[in-house]
Amino acid sequence: MIKIHDLYFKPFLTATQISDAVNNLAYQLNRDLADKKPVFLGILNGSYMVMADLTRKFNHDCEIAFLRASSYEGTSSTGELVETLNVDIDLTDRTVVIVEDIVDTGLTVDMLSRKLLKHNPTALHVATLFLKPEVYNRELKIDFVGLNIENKFVVGYGMDYDNLGRNLPELYVQTQRMKNIVLFGPPGAGKGTQAERLKEKYGLVHISTGDVFRYNIKNGTELGTLAKSFMDKGNLVPDEVTIKMLNAEVEKTPDAAGFIFDGFPRTDAQAKALDELLASKGSEIAGMVALEVDDEVLVERLLERGKASGRADDASEGVIRDRIAVYYKQTAPLKDYYTAQDKYHGVDGVGALDEITARLSVEFDKL
C-alpha cells in the first residue's frame, strides 16, 4: 500500500500486466492500420508513458504528436474544452489516432474528437490503454482498447493524483487504509474480551491464533493436521504453518476494514513474517496496542477465571506465574520491535471494562 497526498492506494496491475495490455493494443493497431501511415496524437500529461511504449511496438510508418486538452469543471454543461488545440501536423486526409491512457466517462475525448474532425482527417480513431466500460456510455466509438478495468480511481503509468504518481511503473487503485492492529498483553490482560468489543466498534475482523488453531485441528484441515502432528510430539508448531493459517483467515475477508491480531505475533521472527504477509497484500501493521497490567492483578484475575472456567492452567498460582515469566522472557521483547517502528502504544489495562475500552479506543482512533 502507498500513500499519495491524503489517499491510500493498493497494487492493482503489475508492470507485466500493463505491458500485456500495451501489446494487445499494439497488435490491434498493427493489424488495422499497417498501410495507413497514421498520426498518433497523445493527450498530455497522462498518455506520455503509453505513447512511448505503444509507438515503439507499431511496426509501420507513423507520425507522433502531443497536445494538451482538459475539461472545465462541470464541462458536461458547457461542452467546451479549456484550451484551444494547437496541432503542428496537417491532419487533412490523414488517419488520426487519439491515444489515451484511460477513458472513463469519455468527456474529454468526445469533445476532442469533435474539434479534431474540423481538421478534415480521412479517419479518426480513439485508442486507449484502459477503458472503464461501467461508466462509458457515449456514442463515440472507442476503436482500440488494451484492457477493460473496473470503475475505480487509479494512479501510476502516467496517471496521477494531484500531479503525483505518474512515474510509478505499476498501476495502483484507491483503497482505504486497513487498520491492522496487534493487540498485545500478558496472560489475563483481557485481550480477548477487549478484542470482541473493539472489532464491533471499528468493524474489524478479530483473528485469535488460539481460535484459528482449534478450528483447523477440529475440522481436520490440511494445516490443522500438520499442526497437530507437531503438537502431538510436544513440539512447537513452525511459524510458517501458523502464518499459512493466518493467511487463510485474512483471505476469507479480503474487503475487511482491518484485522485485530490476538495471540500473534509472539516473537520478532513472527512479527517479521506477519509484516511480509501483509506487505504481500499491500497492507501493513498500523500499530501494536498493549494492555499493561501489574503481575499481581494478573495472578488474581487468572485464579478467578480458573474457578469459573475450570481451566487447569488458571488453577495454580505457580503455573500462572510461570506463564507470566515466559511471557516476559519470550514475548515482551516484541515491544522493542514495534517501538523501533514507532508503532507501540501502551494502555493501562486495569479498571472497569468500559474504561479500558475507552482507553484502547483513544489509541485505535490514532491508527
Active site residues per annotation: 191, 266, 305, 311, 323
Q: Which residues contact 204 (CB under 8 A, 6 or more apart)?
A: 179, 181, 198, 256, 257, 258, 259, 260
Helix segments in the chain, DSSP class H: 15-33, 48-56, 75-78, 107-116, 191-202, 209-218, 222-231, 239-252, 268-279, 295-309, 317-326, 334-339, 353-366
Q: Is residue 209 annotated as involved in ligand binding?
A: yes
Q: Is residue 189 annotated as involved in ligand binding?
A: yes
Q: Is residue 351 annotated as involved in ligand binding?
A: yes
Opening angle at CA 11, ends 7 and 15, nearest 5: 130
Residue 9 C-alpha cell reads as: 492506494
Q: What is the DSSP string of 113-168?
A: HHHHGGG--SEEEEEEEEE-TTT---SS---EEEEE--S--EEBTTB-BTTBSTT-
Q: Is residue 235 annotated as involved in ligand binding?
A: yes
Q: Is residue 50 annotated as involved in ligand binding?
A: no
Residue 265: is the preceding peptide bond cis (ω within 30°)?
yes
Q: Is residue 270 annotated as involved in ligand binding?
A: yes
- In the numeric block, the cell 479549456 is attached to 82
Q: Which residues contact 98 (CB under 8 A, 6 or more apart)?
A: 41, 43, 109, 112, 113, 116, 124, 125, 126, 127
Positive or negative, the Cα torsion across 170, 26, 144, 106? positive
Q: Is residue 192 annotated as involved in ligand binding?
A: yes
Q: Is residue 214 annotated as involved in ligand binding?
A: yes
Q: Is residue 188 annotated as involved in ligand binding?
A: yes
Q: Is residue 175 annotated as involved in ligand binding?
A: no
Q: Is residue 264 annotated as involved in ligand binding?
A: yes
- In the numeric block, the cell 483467515 is attached to 249
Q: Is residue 236 annotated as involved in ligand binding?
A: yes
Q: Is residue 193 annotated as involved in ligand binding?
A: yes
Q: Is residue 242 annotated as involved in ligand binding?
A: no
Annotated binding site for AMP: 209, 214, 235-237, 263-266, 270, 311, 323
Annotated binding site for ATP: 188-193, 305, 351
Annotated binding site: 188-193, 209, 214, 235-237, 263-266, 270, 305, 311, 323, 351
